[in-house]
Amino acid sequence: MAPVNDGLRLVLASASPRRLELLAQIGIRPDAIIPADIDENPRKDEAPRAYVARMAAEKAACIAAAEPGVVLAADTTVVAGRRILGKPEDETQAAAFLRLLSGRRHLVLTAVTVQSGGQARHRLVETTLRFRPLSGADIAAYVASGEWRGKAGGYGIQGRAAAFAPWMQGSFTGVVGLPLAETAVLLESFGVRAPHGIREITQ
């Protein structure tokens, strides 16, 4: 069956191919993909949860101000302690992030906002992961793979970094970039429905 949106115009406020692929898994295809151009720098002393929620809300509001229909926006960040690990700027920073995460637990926060007109609804999904101790060779090989590019925390759990995380509690799809169960509920509240429904798998 072809993906359907129940006749509503859905705008994905993200250029992430992973989010587009995740939506396709539940039979939803956006009518437009329009990344939001906003300042994504954390504010001084901004807490990680507040930051990621603000990012998703601002992305949705930015696109909803100019586009009709239902706007879906999300933001994902990795948190080690209170430190926000965004997308690495280069290989050196990617390796530094992996060294920081090696052998310890960390949080992955994904905020989702769905907005239509002046109404917006939000969800914040938290997942805890533990990385095994990573050797210098592990880190060097991963950085050389290039998978860290464009990914919060410098890794993608859906790729080679799956071998780094022997333990996870929460939403796998949330770590990838869009928690499907929560997103489906938000979309349905605005009339955008997956054709057969979904079931989220937690680990």
Residue 203 pLDDT grade (very low, low, confident, very high; cuts 50, 70, 90): very low
Q: Which of 34, 123, 18, 38 is nearest to 70 (CA)?
A: 34
**Active-site hit among 31, 37, 75, 90:** 75
Distance CA 134, CA 160 (A): 13
Q: Which of 111, 106, 115, 107 is nearest to 124 (CA)?
A: 111
Give pLDDT tens digits for 55-104.
999 999 999 999 999 999 999 999 999 899 999 999 999 999 999 999 99
Residue 202 pLDDT grade (very low, low, confident, very high; cuts 50, 70, 90): very low
Distance CA 98, CA 135 (A): 10
Residue 106 pLDDT grade (very low, low, confident, very high; cuts 50, 70, 90): very high
Average pLDDT of span 135-162: 96
* 173 pLDDT more than 50: yes
Q: Is 75 a catalytic residue?
A: yes
Please tell me the predicted confidence (pLDDT) of residue 147: 96
Based on its alpha-carbon atoms, the radius of gyration of the chain, rounded to whole angstroms, reads 17
* 113 pLDDT more than 50: yes
Domains plus CATH for the chain? 10-189 (3.90.950.10)
